[in-house]
Amino acid sequence: MSPRLHDALHELAQGAPSEVSAAQVLAGARRRRRVRLIAVPSVAATAAAAILVGATLAGGGAEPARPAAQPDRPLVTEPGKVLNPPGVLPGRLPSGKVEPIVFAFLDYCRGKSLKETTSAKGDCAQWRLVGRSGKQWRLPDAVGSRVVKPEDYMSGSAPLVVSPDGWRIAYYRAKDQRLVVRDLTSGRVTPVSARTAPAAIPLMMFSGDGTRLALSPKVDQSGRTLLVDTRTGAATALHAGTVIGLSRDASTIVQADTEDERTPLTVSGADGSVRASVPLDPEVDLRGSSGNLLSPDGRTLLTFTTSLDKAVLVDVATGKITSVRRIDGVGGAHAWTGPTTYFTTRDLSGHPDARKRGIPPRALRGVIVDLTTGKYRDVGRTFTIQTSQSAVALGGYLP
């Protein structure tokens, strides 16, 4: 053991609250007991309602954009300011053309504790979208914050992803519980043909050109891996496994078992046919990786060392490491942006008096990393939200 680390942890732990209310624990236990007694019939009724909704709204195909109703006003945030000032909500996303989206977030109604974030509901619990110009809207038809189950004391969320060019978003639509892709150049909404249960919403990844959306079941969930044509909603089944990379046009798809690198990479085409099974160099670490790791030409995977301080490039054809490059200041990757560059974020969270303000801010800035030099440059604006819990998505980093 390390006595010094133990002592430092001990000092840190002194900041903990000093007592637990036994009365609250007992009250919670009694409430939980009551909820358990009524939960079964409630859940059955909810399931029946969900089936009914599903049956009446079944069907696919793109839905044309509706004529714009009286548009709500977007919230315009000056650079450097907090995107979610208290008591102010942006208007609804217009139904027609908007502008490329560069950032999306959930702030769980700015709840200060888990109890508050768990009960987040209403307009403030919706996803909020920030456009390239700094205008901000909320997305009322998406599921945003949600309570995972009746007894759950933690809040959850339904994911949203933004395409690299910012012109498409994919999210879980509330009214019919379907994944949909919204084209922001027209407002056209295309449901994904394969249905997804609320409890099993997959990981989503856009191809570089936004024409395809890969859906991978989460590690602890079952489900098929699919490639969706974002223009039609048609889904093609892929080999089982997590999609870790799509080439720019999704003509090459790479899948892996991110929990076990001994499993070979699977390389497929857009039609789902497996082209190759490639053993991975044992030095490559895929655990915890996220984002589109495949280069636009489909030939190179971008991975990182465990400590995230070096980028490790892997030849997809051989599974061998071709290059290791030290990266200064940022770790991880969202997606490639060119033959030798990729996009990721820099965490700028924190403010000297954050604690005094009650809710700490979370701040992010996009960066482009140049693999030839290992240096990064900032792009766009800093996204700052005042929240104790958040979900965020970035996009629009390609022109």
Partner 1 sequence: MVRYDGLSEFVAARGPALLRSAFLLTGDRHLAEDLVQAALVKLAPRWRRVAAGGDPESYVRKILYHEHLNWWKRRGRHVHPSADPPEPAGHPDIADRAVRTILLGQALGRLTAKQRAMIVLRFYEDRSETETARLLGCSVGTVKSQTHRALARLRALEPGLADLLTDTEIPEVAR
Binding site for partner 1 (CB under 8 A): 1-2, 4-6, 8-26, 28-29, 32-33, 112-115, 148, 152-157, 159, 203, 218, 220, 288, 290, 306-309, 331, 347-352, 354-355, 360-362, 385, 387-393
Cβ distance to partner 1 smaller for residue 78 or 220: 220
Q: Which residue lies nearer to partner 1 by CB, 114 or 234?
A: 114
Q: Which is nearer to partner 1, 74 or 361 (CB)?
A: 361
Residue 350 to residue 355: CA distance in whole angstroms: 9
How near is the Cβ of 276 to partner 1 at its closest, in Å? Answer: 27
CA 163 to chain centroid: 11
* Three-state DSSP class for residue 116: helix
Nearer to partner 1, 81 or 287 (CB): 287
How is residue 384 written in tokens? 């700052």
Q: Return phi, psi of residue 247, to 5°.
A: -70, 175
The burial of 9, by beta-carbon neighbours within 10 Å (0-12 exposed, 13-18 middle, 19 or more buried), is given as exposed
Shortest distance, position 396 Cβ to partner 1, whole Å: 16
Q: Token digits for 200? A: 């099993």
- Residue among 10 and 262 whose Cβ is closer to partner 1: 10
Quick one: 30 or 275, whose CB is closer to partner 1?
A: 30
Question: Using alpha carbons only, what angle is made at residue 224 by residues 320 and 49, rounded to the nearest 5 degrees?
Answer: 150
Cα(99)–Cα(339) distance, integer angstroms: 26
Residues 6+ apart with CB under 8 A from 76: 134, 135, 136
Sequential DSSP letters for 23-64: HHHHHHHHHHHHHHHHHHHHHHHHHHHHHHHHHHH---S-BP
Q: How far apart are CA 306 and CA 55, in angstroms?
A: 47
Three-class secondary structure assignment of 148-214: CCCCCCCEEECCEEECCCCCEEEEEECCCCEEEEEECCCCEEEECCCCCCHHHCCEEEECCCCCEEE
To the nearest whole angstrom, how small is the minimum distance from the Cβ of residue 143 to partner 1? Answer: 13
**Residue 260 C-beta: closest distance to partner 1, Å:** 12
Shorter beta-carbon distance to partner 1: residue 267 or 359: 359
Smallest distance, Å, CB 262 to partner 1? 14
**Kindly report the CA angle at 398 between 305 and 394, in degrees rounded to 5?**
65
Structure token pair of residue 345: 């974020």
Q: Work out how close the CB of 305 gets to partner 1 at its nearest, in angstroms, rounded to a whole number.
A: 9
Q: Which is nearer to partner 1, 236 or 386 (CB)?
A: 386
**Residue 123 per-residue DSSP state:** G
State the nearest-atom distance from the C-beta of 380 to partner 1, in Å.
18
Give the 3-state secondary structure of residue 97: coil
Phi, psi for 115 (deg, rounded to 5): -60, -40
Nearer to partner 1, 382 or 388 (CB): 388
Residue 85 and residue 71 in contact, taking contact as beta carbons nearer than 8 Å: no
Q: In the complex with partner 1, which residue's Cβ is closer, 65 or 148?
A: 148
